[in-house]
Amino acid sequence: MNVDQASKIILKPYITEKTFAMVENESKICFIVDRSASKPQIIEAVSALYNQKATQVNTARTIYGKKAFVQFESTEKARDLATKIGML
């Protein structure tokens, strides 16, 4: 997967107080993703865009769009990526 395809899947990070706390407590970052994106596509897009290995993805459909809660191997990796994308 190239960067153009990955940027069509992962639209933007979703930042609230709850998702901010998830970075520290659960090593998760929340993204708004394309409605038709599958969990394996989301994992592949995260590694293509951010060079980070995601371990698990949970999704939910909301009025804001489809949210993907992406879990990383450690809190440090999640914190580094959150800082890189401007969440922290």
Q: Look up the pTM and report it.
A: 0.93
Residue 87, by phi and psi: left (phi above 0), alpha (psi -120 to 50) or beta?
alpha
Q: Which residue has the tokens 């995601």?
A: 54
CA distance 42 to 48: 10
CA distance 62 to 66: 6
Q: Which two tokens stand for residue 33?
A: 């993703």
What percentage of the chain carries pLDDT values higher than 70? 100
Q: Is the per-residue pLDDT at 88 higher than 90?
A: no
Secondary structure class of 78 (helix, strand, coil): helix
Q: Given this model, what pLDDT does residue 87 score? A: 80
